[in-house]
Structure 1
Amino acid sequence: MFTLSVVATKGGVGKTTIAAHLAGLFRDIGLRVLLIDADVQPSLSKFFVIDHVAPRGLTDMITRGYLEEDCISTVQLPPAGFSGSAARIETTGHIDIVMSDTTDGRLQDWMFQHPDYIVRIRMAIKSLMASSYDIVIIDTQGAVGHLQDAAVVASDTVVAPASPDIISAREFLAGTNRLLERIQSAANLGLHVPPVKALLNRFENTNDSRLMTGLIRDQMPNMAGHVYLMETEVPSAVAFRKAATARVPVHWIDPHRCGDVMHRLMWELLPSLDGRYAPNHRNHSHVPGAVDAAQAQKD
């Protein structure tokens, strides 16, 4: 099982979007995906249509320290009424989600009062129920805090999206340094510290966007070797807005440009998946043993 958290020190940089679209792609290549919405503003819980809503969610998972079925909701893909060709994708993968239920702040208060808060998510996803999944993706709040700390410590890799505009770039650099200080505190306690991978999101082919990208790149050596800038850049594209409206992964809307980007991102995060394609990708039939996408749509 591989655990990935998507973090940011401010909202609006696209972390929920990245988490959702990666989950959809992992699902389509046949992996069992568990999403954990650890954001006090539960955007991820609202991205997909939920087929089965569990009676409990994030609060019980963390306070118990283990994961049970009553905390796991089920994502419906394709959603009812979606008529795109990708709705005929055949896959053995699926997406479940632990929904956020902490908008009132009580969970954060509970974590503040429990010194072991930082390992609570890690304890939960190492439990028996979590062994049913290949990938765990944790979406975090857009601010440093106990929930973000617990998500980072539970992860094998941390993805930190950054938008290449002047305000977001400056906040990314300052916020990432604050995140590194908190990570170092966890390392001093002997806890696992995952690598942080900066991802340029909503990149545009403009001078301003390239200038801000250069600013972020130039600061990487000052991150003490703890932060790495990913080669993949996620563009600003209408397909992402259309996907959010339809509540489906972006490679269902645009299997070419955006689909290619999401595949490259997946492979860069998990090189062992290099060469694996979603069934609606033009190269899917080139994978030995893969079901032809056109045939899958006819069945």
Structure 2
Amino acid sequence: MRVWAVANQKGGVGKTTTSVALAGLLADAGKRVLMVDLDPHGSMTSYFGQDPDSLEHSVFDLFQHQGSVPDGLARELLVSTSHERLALLPSSTVLATLERQSPGQSGLGLVISRSLTQLWGEFDHAIIDSPPLLGVLMVNALAASQQLVIPVQTEFLALKGLERMVRTLQMINRSRKQALPYTIVPTLFDRRTQASMNALKLLRANYQEHLWPAFIPVDTRLRDASRAGLAPSHYDANSRAVLAYRALLKQLLAAQQTSKVA
């Protein structure tokens, strides 16, 4: 199983949409995909018709065993979705209390890694939707992943969030055996606005080495897909945004293959 995390230390940049879009495209290609919602807001969970305010069981359960994960627990928490090859480990709002519980507990940073080990043979890919705050949940996402995708809205404040995310990644990499490769993805791009044009220009000037050279455009079909509870490619396979995400996925898979060879 290949594990990708989608993260940024700023909300509203398209993390959940990017996670679900990539998962849907992988499922279209016949892959079995696990989606992991680590955001207490539960946007990915809500996307697929679950209520993070009322779920009795969620990924929060994984963190209630002093850093260990009982055998079979991750599998018990799986929720089916609108697509037979997409499964979900749902979030709940109670995850927001985790930071207050975590002091004094060792091993909490590896809970998701240990949980995914229980499901390793059942899925080809796992995509983790990370919260927009640095804490035990984001640490779990980064520790478990082999590739990081950083969506960045093409506007000035989002670029500041990217700076914080890159600094966080540098800190995390000091505790990893191998640096986590990452790809920056410009999102919500609107070529009609000067703000989007300027932000894209800054990204290309300052982050060229890790920047996906294209962008995800503003597309109302993404909102429509979310409302329908369907991955974007299952709602409209030929929308502008889906075509862009398909190109992004092609590059991510090529990078993955290169890293395997290396």
Aligned to 2:234: 252
The residue correspondences of 1:108-119 to structure 2 (distance < 5 A) are: 108-119=99-110
Structure that is richer in strand per residue: 1
Contact 2:39-2:129 at 8 Å conserved across structures = yes
TM-score (norm 2): 0.85
Alignment of 1:20-35 (within 5 A): 20-35=20-35
| Distance in 1, Cα, partners of 2:34 & 2:10 | 24
Q: Is the 8 A contact 2:21 2:242 kept in 1?
A: no
Percent identity of equivalent pairs: 23
Deviates more, 1:24-33 or 1:61-70: 61-70
- Counterpart CA distance in 2 for 1:133 and 1:104 is 25
- What is aligned with 2:198? 211
Q: Does 1:75 align with 2:72?
A: no
SS, match of residue 199 in structure 2: helix
Match runs of 1:149-298 below 5 Å = 149-173=139-163, 175-187=164-176, 190=177, 192-206=178-192, 207-220=194-207, 228-256=210-238, 257-271=240-254
Distance (Å, rounded) in 2 between the aligned partners of 1:126 and 1:262:
28
Residues 163 and 200 in structure 1, CA contact (< 8 A), matched pair in contact too: yes
1:260 and 1:177, CA in 2 relative to 1: closer, same or farther beyond 3 A?
Answer: closer
1:139 is aligned to 2:129: yes
CA deviations on 1:56-77 (whole Å, 9 max, x unpaired) are 3212224454443321111123
State TM-score, norm by structure 1.
0.75
- Deviation at residue 260 of structure 1 after TM alignment: 1.8
Q: Is the 8 A contact 1:266 1:273 kept in 2?
A: no
How far residue 17 of structure 1 moved from its aligned partner, in angstroms, is: 0.8
Larger radius of gyration: 1
Structure 1 contact 54–71 (Cα < 8 Å) conserved = no
In 1, Cα distance between the equivalents of 2:189 and 2:253? 22
Q: Matches of 2:153 and 2:46 in 1, distance apart?
A: 22
* Corresponding residue for residue 277 of structure 1: none
Conserved? CA contact 1:58–1:102, under 8 Å:
no
**Aligned residue number for residue 59 of structure 1:** 60
**Count of residues in Structure 1 that have an aligned counterpart in Structure 2:** 247
* Contact 1:251 1:258 (C-alpha < 8 Å) held by counterparts: no
Amino acid at match of 2:82: Q
Q: Which moved more, 1:134-143 or 1:240-249?
A: 240-249
| Residue in structure 2 matched with residue 8 of structure 1 by the alignment | 8
Paired residue for 2:18? 18
- Whether contact under 8 Å (2:24, 2:234) holds in the other structure is no
The CA distance in 1 between the partners of 2:242 and 2:59, in whole Å, is: 31
Residue 114 of structure 2, aligned match among 98, 119, 123: 123
Question: What SS is found at the alignment partner of 2:248?
Answer: helix
- 1:73–1:97 CA contact under 8 A, matched in 2: yes
CA deviation after TM superposition for structure 1 residue 100, in Å? 0.9
SS in 2 for 1:44: helix
> Structure 1: which amino acid aligns with 2:60?
T
CA contact (8 A) 2:188 2:217 kept: yes
Q: Unaligned regions of 5+ residues in structure 2, if any?
A: 258-262
Deviation, 1:54, is 8.2
Shift in Å, 1:271: 2.1
Quick one: distance in 2 between partners of 1:267 and 1:208? 28
Q: Deviations over 1:80-105 (max 9, x none)?
A: xxxxxxxxxxxxx5111111125363
